[in-house]
Structure 1
Amino acid sequence: MKSANLLTCFCCIAICTQSQNARSPVVAWYTSSGAYSKNFSDVFSINNNIAALAAVKNFSAAVYGEKRFLLTELGLYSAILAQTTASGNFSLSANYYGYKAYNESELSVGYGRKLSDKVDIGIKFNYFSLRIPSYGKASAFNFDAGAIFHITEQLHSGINIYNPLSSKLGRHTAEKLMPVYKAGLGYDFSTSFFSGIEVIKEQGSTTGIHASFQYKPVTQLFARAGIVTSNHSWYAGIGCLFKELRVDVTVSMHQQLGISPGILLLYGIKKQEKE
């Protein structure tokens, strides 16, 4: 048990320092794609840029689970609900990473809307919590905001800022959540192929690149893959659509820590068109 805990602690430290650096929420990169596309954006694209919430067309519910480096103690789980309204779209999301001896969680409420055919905006309010039973619990409120610009029908760009005020973790500590700045660009080569690139800068760390592509040969099947330079990892996945339910099987690979399998379920209720 002691050796297992030591391994888990090592992996937690490695993820914090190489993937998201100290005190930033752990991210599943597979779900952080598609925001800069009109054909491949989905409800999970708000992890890429919160302004992507404006592109959600129907009520959507999605869950994602990932067994990081094949360790149960490093499980990463996400869930999102999104509802469309006449005045904009709203989202409720939750993220959990870790196990009983060490875990991080974040609850978020988001809002996104179209300012025009060329500009989408969004904002999300977050409650981040870090819990280590042996030491206690620390939490912080923060927000992120983003905008997406539809330059042409095929070319899209955007920016997203997470925690710009460097929220303090708890009252009795000087530790803070780090701000994260992102700028992205995507191009829809066709209705079946998309490629995007994103520059990510976290305060106190080197700049990283997230490049991805998505391909949909038929309506019921698509593939997604990408690389992330900040933690020397890549990911890939295949998704199948069964009526209103999409199922993705994913895998990511870290250069030192190994493989992480995952699964994504996305359900969307399409609105009935009026005759």
Structure 2
Amino acid sequence: MKTLLAFILALGFGLILPAQNGVFIATNARSIGLGGSGVAASGLASLGNNPAGLADLENWGAGVQAEQRFLLSELQLLTAAGALPTASGSFGLQINYFGFEAYNEQKIGLTYARKLFDQLYLGAQVGVFNTRIPEYGSRALVTFDVGLLAPISREITFGFQLINPMRMEIIDGEYLATVLRFGLDYQPAEKIHLLAEVEKDIQQPVRVHAGLEYRIVDPLYLRLGVATEPVSMSFGFGYVLAGGLAIDVAASYHQILGFTPALGITYRGE
């Protein structure tokens, strides 16, 4: 019965799932704690979000992430990613797995980003997305995302991302989601980030995300967030350890389906 429920959720709930017909959005615990906001993130925090954010990466970094939707083991999202800055721009690799034995999705993506100007970064990701249903086999497609990041001032950063602009069919009647995201990261004080974001799947209602990040003390961060369509609330913490290691924990709450916990571990090289 539990497996049947998970299969129905995987096929039927669209935006409330971490894998949205080929789209893995907010696949890091920091963004989940901020209500899914992340399109204006930069550096290592942009992994799983806007590819343009990697242009601001100063040192190499890597991370792993685990998310379990509604506390169901069948609805797991696992992510591993890494990025490296070079003189020619920043390069990244991201691997996602979502689902369970009866239905699962995998994606491998390669990202390239660079600064065109001090206030304009561009990035793109090319990936292979595979859907596997044992009764029907597997289907692999090539996907791509493009992003833009603009630090307008010290306080305000604007982000834009277009995901899967080509509407490609996964299986009969099911298509890769095409999603537009744009938003702001506003830093009114050194310890505070306010984030707001609009997300539009061409086949779904507009979704709004908002988040607050507050640095309680130097290594400890508190995060709160909210999202619409469907309405969900989230919270999280981040702790930066010595030596470049950071741990992020978060949870979002859906009023009908319950909690979704997430854990992320990242390492920033010297």
TM > 0.5: yes
Whole-Å Cα distance in 2 between the matches of residues 206 and 19 of structure 1? 15
8 Å CA contact 1:36–1:186 kept in 2: the answer is yes
* Worse overlay, 228-237 or 57-66: 228-237
Aligned to 2:40: 36
Aligned to 1:273: none
Aligned to 2:252: 252
Read off the aligned partner of 2:256 and give its amino acid letter: Q
The structure whose RCO (Cα within 8 Å, separation 6+) is larger is: 2
8 Å CA contact 1:73–1:99 kept in 2: the answer is yes
Shift of 1:18: 4.4
Whole-Å Cα distance in 2 between the matches of residues 176 and 265 of structure 1? 32
Aligned to 1:267: 267
1:1-275 correspondence to structure 2 within 5 Å = 3-16=1-14, 18-19=16-17, 23-28=21-26, 30-32=29-31, 33-36=37-40, 41-169=42-170, 173=172, 175-243=174-242, 244-270=244-270
- Count the aligned residue pairs: 263
Whole-Å Cα distance in 1 between the matches of residues 194 and 116 of structure 2? 25
- 3-state SS of 2:64 partner: strand
Read off the aligned partner of 1:162 and give its amino acid letter: I
- 3-state SS of 2:170 partner: coil
Structure 1 stretches of 5 or more lacking a match? 271-275
Whole-Å Cα distance in 2 between the matches of residues 213 and 54 of structure 1? 24
CA distance 1:247–1:20, shift in 2 (3 Å):
closer
1:60-119 Cα deviation digits (max 9, x unpaired): 001110121111111111111000101100000011111122111111000111111110
8 Å CA contact 1:76–1:96 kept in 2: the answer is yes
Percent identical residues: 33
TM-score by length of 2: 0.90
8 Å CA contact 1:249–1:262 kept in 2: the answer is yes
Structure 2 stretches of 5 or more lacking a match? 32-36
Read off the aligned partner of 1:53 and give its amino acid letter: L
Read off the aligned partner of 1:229 and give its amino acid letter: T
8 Å CA contact 1:226–1:235 kept in 2: the answer is yes
8 Å CA contact 1:36–1:187 kept in 2: the answer is no
8 Å CA contact 2:43–2:58 kept in 1: the answer is no
- Aligned CA-pair RMSD: 2.0
1:110-156 Cα deviation digits (max 9, x unpaired): 01111111101100001111111122112211100011112111111
1:155-210 Cα deviation digits (max 9, x unpaired): 1112110011112326xx45321210111112111221101111111011111101
TM-score by length of 1: 0.89
Shift of 1:230: 2.2
Whichever of the two has the greater Rg, that structure is 1
CA distance 1:17–1:251, shift in 2 (3 Å):
closer
Whole-Å Cα distance in 1 between the matches of residues 123 and 75 of structure 2? 30
